[in-house]
Chain A
Amino acid sequence: MIERVDANLVTEFEKFGKSNWNDCFHCGNCTGACPLTEQHFLFPRKSYNEIQMGLKDSLASSIEPWLCYYCGDCSEKCPRDANPAETMMILRRYLTSVYDWTGLSKKFYTSHWWEYIAILFIGAIVTLLLGVINPNGIVTELNSNGGVKINEMFPVHWVHIGDTIMALTIGILLVSNLFRMWYFVILRDKSVKIPISAYIKGVKELAIHFATQKRFNKCDDKKYWGAHWILMTAYSTMLVIIIFFLPWFQTEDINAWYHPQRLFGYYATFGLFLGLIYFFIGRIKKERQMFKYSHLSDWLFIILLFLSTLTGILLHIFRLSGLAAETYYMYIIHMAILVPMLVIEVPFSKWSHLAYRPFTVYFSLLKKSALIKKNTKN
């Protein structure tokens, strides 16, 4: 295959994060030190070659960066201090922007202002919808349990319609980006042909990886996998509840503490907090390789999530203790943080990895079995 060299790739790359691409002298130490690298998917060194040579198309179709879970073993012993682990991280940002056909991802990753203004803009729309256009104001009257009548202030079916529209938008964007990833990684690579039966067979692995992120466990530090898994399950629980079961969740009645509605809610809150504290401390202390360099997108990711959780908790307390006005305003603040976070992070920024990571494992398994089959035929 003839590939065009893009001499400006490095300059473009620098916008996604700082690293010294030219320092690598290709000794292969990083690949050998990596616990996750395997035959057919060698990384991180190969990506350095593509960056240094300006092989834009090869980069776009490489899934290796997504197979890396940033344990940092490669960076620790790199003889050139080229920091391959961080390069993999920067590549993941770059690839997210490559998959995204709207071009917004690139804007958010490379410009602080774009990111801030987008958050404020969507937050403003949410405030407008809930606080100004919404005909219902603060309802001070309490229900029989002494709780706030939240559904009279923000009718749940309207909110549900709104969040379904949001979820559909995000979902369509994410799926279309995922489709582009599939196009770059599998379809454009003419060296392998993958039968449909293989796709079906691989679904089980896809589901397992989506639910457990078990690749993480090949890295040495198990604590990190634990913290991430708790955060992920807590977050997913909340996401499923608010997108599919909002009418069941946003109720006026105060249920007993053992009611599943409250138990799920508490698990999610607890998990989010625990996970977030771990990440906050890690990013501040910078002891582990993966926390040493924090991009704006890394910070926004945990700060917004933290604020959403915090406002969610306050909302819950205010509602239970019958503080009507406080509940009203907290609801608006909660939504004005939550909605922009989801809209920006899930399809365009760091949270897209929830789809790219498991699908990478899926694609890599498909490719690997095809390559092995091809090699044995030859």
Chain B
Amino acid sequence: MNRNNMPEKRTAIYFIDTTNENNYDIIDNSEIISYVQNKQLVAEIWRSGDIAMKDSEKMAGIIKNKNIQRIVIAGDSPGIHKSFFARAMKLAGNMAEDVVLAGFREHNIIKSSDIDFAKAIVYCAINNVDYIKATQPTTSSVNPETLIIGGGIAGVQASLEIADAGNKVYLVERTATIGGYMATFDKTFPTLDCAACILTPKMGEVGQHANIDMMTYSEVKNISGTPGNYKATILKKAKFVNPYTCIGCGTCSEKCPVKVKSEFDSGTTMRKSVYIPFPQAVPNKYVIDADTCTYILKQKCGVCAKVCPVPDCINYEEKDEEIEITVGNIIVATGYKPFDAARDERYGYGKYPNVLTSLEFERMVNASGSTGGNIYFRTQDKKGNWLLQPDGENPKSVALIHCVGSRDENFNKYCSKVCCMYSLKLAHLIVEKLPNTKVYEYYIDIRAFGKGYEEFYKRIDEEGVNIIRGRTAKVDEKDGKLHLRGEDIIGGNLIEQEIDMVVLAVGLEARDDAKKLADMLGISQSDDGWFVEADYISDPTATLNGGISIAGVCQGPKDIPDTVAQASATASRVIQSIMQGKINNNRKDISLSDIEQNILKLS
């Protein structure tokens, strides 16, 4: 075999064996070994015990002795071992690029039934052919209806594009309104456009679109079927308020005696048990929160039903309902959850009231948010809850700490990509609202990577914000004042600063139930929990499963423009399949022999 006129490379395969004390149903490496050992190119097979991952010079000696030109690392999380082998390869005079990974868990290869998929992945790695190129899926006919999971900006954008092309869309959203996190933001970087001005018209359009069946307060329970013909079970949680007759007057909420922390305001304000998340919510219909409503829990109260001007609009007897729909394509746009700042004890979040997360601060600077756009200290209400309330004092100094929970071996190793820019944006908003307040940004590196971003950074710098290199190490409280300690790396100073307010730039994390959804759809997750795309560079919105696309942050941290772009990309993929009337089948279903032949053809 002589691919691309390159000499064929003698290949060694290193298998990462997993201990299986509890006898789980896992992949048996010896089965893969018996498949690959007689294949061309395969010169050596090592297993976990055979190689001591310590001395790369010794390893280089082995590579030289056995005349190995390529190394395949096969198993779960092979990337961990890559640097060791790459170094050894370099020392032995080979190229580090010839260390090829064959990740199992990364491709959702978990159980023994995935063995053929595992063999295919290893075989592709031996020949250094992308799995995507070696697999050409067959096609099936497609149901023209589409399911979109998640009603954030990605879901909204994709819904509109597909629906505008004349196709039916089911948009499933877990909370009582669509809009997602973008609806909570005040401004967007780098243009400082008002987030709501961009989003709410789109939300309204979704709410009124004839082709969009919007299901808020609902969850996807189960998905079965094949590409082009999926069956989805949707759980519509009981709203207890009839959405067809509710006129959105708000009398029920006004009179409701139960107060709970508002999810929409990141817990900085109180909402009632019967509520709409925010005034511009779509649909603008009230729901009753069954976990806190005293009538539903203990049959006490019932005030909302009494004051409601529409007869029979409130029905406490309403039950959850499950419906089943059939769709051809599914777009996953489930987004993220912000890093829980209390996990990083250094900064005293949860202990000191005036250490806020960026999302809490975002709600405060938002003109329609907790304090009506004023920047105040957190204060206690009568019941002792620490809230952001619409009166109080302005802080004289605010510090923004970057990379909280990101780029940190103790939490998330990756960069969350958006925190630098939104922190700069928040700094701008503080300067704009409180010109006499000193603002400090403590960063590790400023990652202003996009169009107009570097200019935005420069602009904020010129606005007089103190941008200091050196992420703060800790925040303490002494005599009721916050104290911050860190290093000013460029200035060469130790920073021991008294500060009024600290804002933590929390990173993005995969949602807790992302795994559940991934299993339901048969798609894979990376080590960090993000959904895995078919090909990072050339096919970033598709998955290995036909008809299932991913858009937005659920695929990896990204900002709003990138999310919108991906949403449009998935929409175009869906529209393409509907227009052609056919859809790719799952790549996993392609037989091993077909893959081998494809690789031969590529050679």
Contact = CB atoms under 8 A, between A and B. Distances in A.
Interface of A: 25-33, 37-39, 42, 45, 77-81
Nearest to B495: A32
B407 A79 contact: yes
Contacts of B474: 32-33
B367 interface: no
Contact of A28 (B408, B409, B410, B470): B470
A25 B407 CA distance: 10
A3 to B, nearest CB: 16
Contacts of A37: 487, 494
Contacts of B407: 25, 27, 79
Contact of A80 (B409, B445, B488): B409
Nearest to A33: B473
B494 A77 contact: no
A80 B413 CA distance: 9
A30 B473 contact: yes
Contacts of A80: 409
B489 interface: yes
B180 to A, nearest CB: 29
Given A26-B444, A27-B444, A42-B493, 10 more contacts: A25-B407, A28-B444, A28-B470, A30-B473, A31-B486, A32-B470, A37-B494, A38-B494, A77-B410, A78-B409
A170 B489 CA distance: 41
Nearest to B402: A27
B472 interface: yes
B487 A31 contact: yes
Nearest to B411: A79
A26 B489 contact: yes
B187 interface: no
Interface string B572-591: 00000000000000000000
Given A45-B489, A77-B473, A78-B409, A31 B494 contact: yes
B486 A79 contact: no
29 contacts: A25-B407, A25-B444, A25-B445, A26-B444, A26-B469, A26-B489, A28-B469, A28-B470, A28-B471, A28-B473, A28-B486, A28-B488, A29-B471, A30-B473, A31-B470, A31-B473, A31-B486, A32-B470, A32-B472, A32-B486, A32-B487, A39-B493, A39-B494, A77-B346, A77-B410, A77-B473, A78-B409, A79-B410, A81-B409
Contacts of A28: 444, 469-471, 473, 486-489
Interface in B395-444: 403, 407-410, 444
Contact of B471 (A27, A38, A42, A81): A27
B91 to A, nearest CB: 14
Contacts of B489: 26, 28, 45
Nearest to B494: A39
Interface of B: 346, 403, 407-410, 444-445, 469-474, 485-489, 492-495
Q: Which 4 A-B pairs have the closest CB atoms?
A: A32-B473, A28-B470, A28-B487, A31-B487
A220 B5 CA distance: 65
Nearest to A76: B410
Contacts of B346: 33, 77
Contacts of B492: 42
A37 B474 CA distance: 14
A45 B487 contact: yes
A30 B470 CA distance: 10
A79 B473 CA distance: 11
A45 B489 CA distance: 9
B393 to A, nearest CB: 28
Nearest to B444: A27
Contacts of B488: 28
B470 to A, nearest CB: 3
B410 A27 contact: no
Contacts of A32: 470-474, 485-487, 495
Contacts, number: 64
Which one of A26, A27, A42 has the highest number of Cβ atoms from chain B below 10 Å of its Cβ?
A: A27
B151 to A, nearest CB: 34
A37 B408 CA distance: 22
B412 to A, nearest CB: 10
Which one of A29, A30, A31, A32 has the highest number of Cβ atoms from chain B below 10 Å of its Cβ?
A: A32
B346 to A, nearest CB: 6
A342 B471 CA distance: 45
A29 B494 contact: no
A369 to B, nearest CB: 17
A33 B492 CA distance: 16
A348 B445 CA distance: 41
Contacts of B469: 26, 28
B140 to A, nearest CB: 48
A39 B492 CA distance: 8
A239 B297 CA distance: 78
A27 B494 contact: no
Contacts of A45: 487, 489
Nearest to A29: B473
Contacts of A31: 470, 473, 486-487, 494
A79 B470 contact: no
Contacts of B471: 27-29, 32
A79 B494 contact: no
A16 to B, nearest CB: 18
A145 B491 CA distance: 72
Contacts of A30: 473
Nearest to A41: B494
Nearest to B346: A77
A87 to B, nearest CB: 16
A241 B410 CA distance: 50
Contacts of B445: 25
B54 to A, nearest CB: 10
Which one of A26, A78, A79 has the highest number of Cβ atoms from chain B below 10 Å of its Cβ?
A: A79
A29 B495 CA distance: 11
A79 B487 contact: no
A282 to B, nearest CB: 24
A287 to B, nearest CB: 18
A31 B471 CA distance: 10
Contact of B487 (A25, A42, A78): A42
B496 to A, nearest CB: 9
A35 B473 CA distance: 11
A81 B409 CA distance: 6
B468 to A, nearest CB: 9
Given A26-B444, A31-B486, A32-B486, A79 B472 contact: no
Nearest to A78: B409
B491 to A, nearest CB: 10
Contacts of A38: 494
Contacts of B403: 27, 79
A38 B492 CA distance: 11
Given A32-B486, A42-B487, A27 B409 contact: no
Given A26-B489, A33-B473, A79 B409 contact: yes
Contacts of A81: 409
A116 to B, nearest CB: 22
Which one of B403, B409, B445 has the highest number of Cβ atoms from chain A below 10 Å of its Cβ?
A: B409
A252 B268 CA distance: 82
Which one of B408, B469, B473, B488 has the highest number of Cβ atoms from chain A below 10 Å of its Cβ?
A: B473
Contacts of A42: 487, 492-494
B573 to A, nearest CB: 37
A27 B487 CA distance: 8
A320 B403 CA distance: 68
A156 B493 CA distance: 57
A274 to B, nearest CB: 34
Which one of A25, A30, A31, A78 has the highest number of Cβ atoms from chain B below 10 Å of its Cβ?
A: A31
A45 B492 CA distance: 11
A28 B445 CA distance: 11
Contacts of B408: 79
A361 to B, nearest CB: 18
B479 to A, nearest CB: 19
A80 B407 CA distance: 8
